[in-house]
């Protein structure tokens, strides 16, 4: 169970790692073995949809809205940390727990809708990868979408979870290094940026972009995914001391991973602010950003930008497919296992279903709008069942949420729900 006390105790838990547990001794280096699940979740935080929002924010408002990334990251840490505790304390993912502890009509309805949300998420991720291929090799969007989908399916069906995790860590590293390179090419006003990271402001005409950035940070598939993959690090569910240390390790992993996500998202805004805002260029599409980078920073910057986008599209498609597999397998009260038919069906439905929609839509912009609509509608239901399950002593036992944490989670849920509903209304007006 998490509260602000954990934040103060976090740096002190290394001291306790030398003590012997009844069934397993923890060493200081175990913290590094635990890093991984959070980075898979982070990919959803730096997917192509976030790229588009961040580039638009930086090009239109400069550094001013960097605080949005800071606030979004804090909310994300709390929600993802909370749902990860469900997996650690119960050995169940969010989908499995919903099927076991909720009424069938509720669980089946919410989870079926979650599958559609996974499809819509995959749609945006695959489109992002295909847009990158179009930038790099002038490959048509439809053909690029097919190539991305086939590659992702091969990756998922031919690799174990541990190998997938290593691939994702590699993808995140490439994305981070790419933006580090891009930032070396521009002049950033770090003092102004530092103030903007912590000082909220609402420039005229910025509300829609603020809602887009914050509303897109918490994604339904990431909540299902985190509760599933966190179990890859479980050592012993019978020993209470082991469980407590696992929860501390998980917090370290989530905090570390979300900070990386915060840094990469911030880098996108810093780049757009330094390159486009300073020149008076308002950018609303990723292709437009890529075209403008070349004359301003050189061809290398343009290629690095497109390549990083390709990595983001592929990596986020992989995690979206995994989330789809986790949701469907959970509906049968089974854990995610790529060798199990139910998990495979979930993966195929999520990725191939998204590809088929792209065939019929054709227009990438319309595809992104459609994905946002489904995510905006489904997210409140996923957050609601998460709070209910993690607050239930029947489900979580002594690790159920405290009243204070229930209040924090409910407040975040209300904010995220409001932003998504408002964003949905604005999208439908377009």
Q: How many CA atoms lie within 13 A of 221 on its CB side?
A: 37
Q: Which residue has tokens 């854990």?
A: 335
> Is pLDDT at 213 greater than 80 in this prediction?
no
> Is pLDDT at 100 greater than 80 in this prediction?
yes
Q: Domain of 214: which CATH number?
A: 1.20.1740.10
Angle, in degrees to the nearest 10, between helices 37-45 and 299-331: 120
> How much is the pLDDT for 366?
63
- Between CA 329 and CA 220 the distance in angstroms is 16
Average pLDDT over the chain, rounded to whole? 83
Mean pLDDT of 153-163: 88
DSSP 36: S
User: Within a domain: residue 327?
Assistant: yes
CA nearest to 310, candidates 145, 163, 182: 145
User: Within a domain: residue 20?
Assistant: no
Tally the domains of the chain: 1
**Cross-strand bridge partners of residue 20:** 25
* Model confidence pLDDT, tens digit, residues 342-383: 999 999 999 999 999 888 876 676 666 667 667 767 888 899
Q: Distances in Å between the alpha carbon of 132 and those of 119, 125, 248, 303, 395?
A: 20, 11, 38, 10, 43
* Model confidence pLDDT, tens digit, residues 117-138: 899 889 989 998 999 999 999 9
User: Within a domain: residue 152?
Assistant: yes
User: Within a domain: residue 1?
Assistant: no
CB-count burial class (<10 Å; 0-12, 13-18, 19+) for 3: exposed
User: Within a domain: residue 2?
Assistant: no
**Cβ–Cβ < 8 Å for 215, 419:** yes
User: Within a domain: residue 334?
Assistant: yes
Predicted model pTM: 0.84
* Model confidence pLDDT, tens digit, residues 15-46: 443 334 434 444 545 555 666 677 888 888 78
User: Within a domain: residue 22?
Assistant: no
Domain residues for 57?
A: 28-429
User: Within a domain: residue 4?
Assistant: no
């Amino acid at each position: 169970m998490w509260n602000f006390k954990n934040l103060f105790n976090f740096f002190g838990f290394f001291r306790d790692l030398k003590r012997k547990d009844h069934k397993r001794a923890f060493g200081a280096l175990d913290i590094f073995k635990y890093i991984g699940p959070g980075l898979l979740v982070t990919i959803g935080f730096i997917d192509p949809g976030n790229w588009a929002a961040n580039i638009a924010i930086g090009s239109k408002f400069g550094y001013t809205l960097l605080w949005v990334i800071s606030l979004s990251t804090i909310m994300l840490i709390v929600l993802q940390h909370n749902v990860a505790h469900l997996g650690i304390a119960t050995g169940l993912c969010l989908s499995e727990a919903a099927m076991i502890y909720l009424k069938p009509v509720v669980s089946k309805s919410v989870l079926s809708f979650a599958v559609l949300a996974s499809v819509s998420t995959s749609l945006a991720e695959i489109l992002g990868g295909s847009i990158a291929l179009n930038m790099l090799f002038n490959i048509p969007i439809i053909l690029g979408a097919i190539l991305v989908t086939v590659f992702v399916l091969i990756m998922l069906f031919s690799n174990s979870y541990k190998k997938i995790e290593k691939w994702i860590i590699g993808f995140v590293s490439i994305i981070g290094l790419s933006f580090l390179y891009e930032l070396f090419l521009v002049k950033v006003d770090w003092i102004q940026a530092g103030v903007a990271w912590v000082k909220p402001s609402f420039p005229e005409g910025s509300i829609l972009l603020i809602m887009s950035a914050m509303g897109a940070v918490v994604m339904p598939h990431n909540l299902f995914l985190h509760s599933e993959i966190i179990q890859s690090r479980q050592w012993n569910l019978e020993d209470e001391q082991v469980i407590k240390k696992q929860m501390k390790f998980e917090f370290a992993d989530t905090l570390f991973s979300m900070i990386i996500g915060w840094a990469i998202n911030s880098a996108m805004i810093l780049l757009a602010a330094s390159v486009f805002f300073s020149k008076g260029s308002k950018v609303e599409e990723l292709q437009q950003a890529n075209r403008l980078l070349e004359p301003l920073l050189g061809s290398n910057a343009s290629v690095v930008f497109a390549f990083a986008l390709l990595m983001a599209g592929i990596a986020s498609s992989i995690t979206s497919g995994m989330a789809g597999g986790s949701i469907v397998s959970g509906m049968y009260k089974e854990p995610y296992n790529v060798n199990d038919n139910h998990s495979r069906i979930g993966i195929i439905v999520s990725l191939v279903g998204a590809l088929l929609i792209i065939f019929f839509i054709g227009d990438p912009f319309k595809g992104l709008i459609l994905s946002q609509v489904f995510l905006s509608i489904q997210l409140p239901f996923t957050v609601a069942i998460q709070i209910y399950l993690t607050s239930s002593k029947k489900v979580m036992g002594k690790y159920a949420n405290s009243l204070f944490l229930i209040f924090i989670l409910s407040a975040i849920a209300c904010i995220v729900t409001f932003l998504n509903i408002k964003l949905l209304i604005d999208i439908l007006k377009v």
